[in-house]
Amino acid sequence: MTTFSFELYPPRSAGAESALYLALPHLVAAGPEFISVTYGANGSSREPSLSVLGRILEGTSVQAMAHLTCVGSSYSEASQLIRQFLDAGITSFLALRGDPPVGASEADSFLGDLGSAGELVQLIHRVQAEREQFAVHEVPGFPGAKRIARGRKVTIAVAAFPNGHPRSRSVSQDLDTLLAKEAAGANLAITQLFFHADHYLGFVEQARAAGVTMRILPGIMPVLSVQRLARILELTEEATPVDLERRLSAATDEADQWRIGIDHAVSLGSELIAGGATGLHLYTFNQHEPVLAVLRGAGLLDREKEHA
């Protein structure tokens, strides 16, 4: 079965918060596999992230995934933060190394005690194992009987880069890094944004050949304006998708740009599914209409469920 999931970011104003919580019920009603919530560099959005995650946990049956970064954290600080998320009921994480602080470069010392996302993956598993070493379950058919099992496992996703990490020296290094993350205990990968299906499909083929076995979900975002495309390229350092840029630039109005962006995302998502992708991870920009339009176009949205 092909799944889909969404990413949200913590709102930075009262108006943005209101808009997010208006969109959230529509996203939940669509039936995603999980909804992830981003986490600002150096913990800058810890409380807002926890607030959004708490709303998902308490008011829905959808799995909530917390983003975590390791830049600038000591082992003690990172462990406390992980425990805080676990105590809130979160058992699904996206473990990221994180970008250098503003003004810092790769040559500077900014990582803290955790030198990579792989080390963060190991720490999450360690904290959960220490926190919940075992669980007690009822034995069906034997009233009062109990059995002891290992504590709950956590789901830990990591980032993957179909067109290479901006600071990577080679494709081989990217694949070795992804393989190391899986060896550390990651059980899901979510890709950086890309604009052509072949970029993802070729990367997955290379990853499997390198020994990566975990699911690799493609991350896509409907690009609804030239300005948003420029911002995405600035953040990701991806090559400009010339055809999409030309079509958006030639659009007659915002509605035309919206249609072009949705059509591109639908085409991309459909190609990915046809090529074997087991799901789509959609970056929502905290809006529900565009991503739901993409899911409808790709044939992944149950209309009856959406309006239930």
Q: What span, in angstroms and rounded, lies between the C-alpha atoms of 80 and 54?
A: 18
pLDDT at 237: 83
Please say if the pLDDT value at position 115 is more than 90: no
pLDDT tens-digit map of 199-255: 999 999 999 999 999 999 999 999 999 999 999 998 888 889 999 999 999 999 999
pLDDT at 98: 74
User: Of 247, 239, 287, 294, which is closest to residue 269 (Cα–Cα)?
Assistant: 294
Q: What span, in angstroms and rounded, lies between the C-alpha atoms of 295 and 282?
A: 9
Q: Which two tokens stand for residue 121?
A: 């993956």
- Residue 88: phi and psi, rounded to 5, are -80, -5
Percent of all residues in the chain with a pLDDT value above 90, rounded to a whole number: 68
CA distance readout (Å), 150 to 141, 155, 289: 21, 15, 42
The catalytic residue positions are 7
Residues in Cβ contact with 174 at an 8 Å cutoff, skipping those fewer than 6 apart: 160, 161, 164, 165, 168
- Residue 144: phi and psi, rounded to 5, are 85, -15
Predicted TM-score of the model (pTM): 0.89
Q: Mean pLDDT of all residues in the chain?
A: 88
pLDDT tens-digit map of 244-301: 999 999 999 999 999 999 999 999 999 999 999 999 999 999 999 999 999 999 999 8
From first CA to last CA, the distance across the chain in angstroms is: 21
Given the structure tokens 């009603």, which residue do they identify? 29
Please say if the pLDDT value at position 65 is more than 60: yes
pLDDT at 302: 73
Convert the chain into a string of H (helix), E (strand) and C (coil): CCEEEEEECCCCCHHHHHHHHHHHHHHHHCCCCEEEECCCHHHCCHHHHHHHHHHHHHHCCCEEEEEEECCCECHHHHHHHHHHHHHCCCCEEEEECCCCCCCCCCCCCCCECCCCHHHHHHHHHHHHHHHCCEEEEECCCCCCCEEEEECCCCEEEEEECCCCCCCCCCHHHHHHHHHHHHHHCCCEEEECCCCCHHHHHHHHHHHHHHCCCCEEECEECCCCCHHHHHHHHHHHCCCCCHHHHHHHHCCCCHHHHHHHHHHHHHHHHHHHHHCCCCEEEEECCCCCHHHHHHHHHCCCCCHHHHCC
pLDDT tens-digit map of 191-201: 999 999 999 99
pLDDT band at 131 (very low <50, low <70, confident <90, very high): confident
Please say if the pLDDT value at position 104 is more than 60: no
Residues in Cβ contact with 72 at an 8 Å cutoff, skipping those fewer than 6 apart: 41, 42, 98, 101, 110, 111, 112
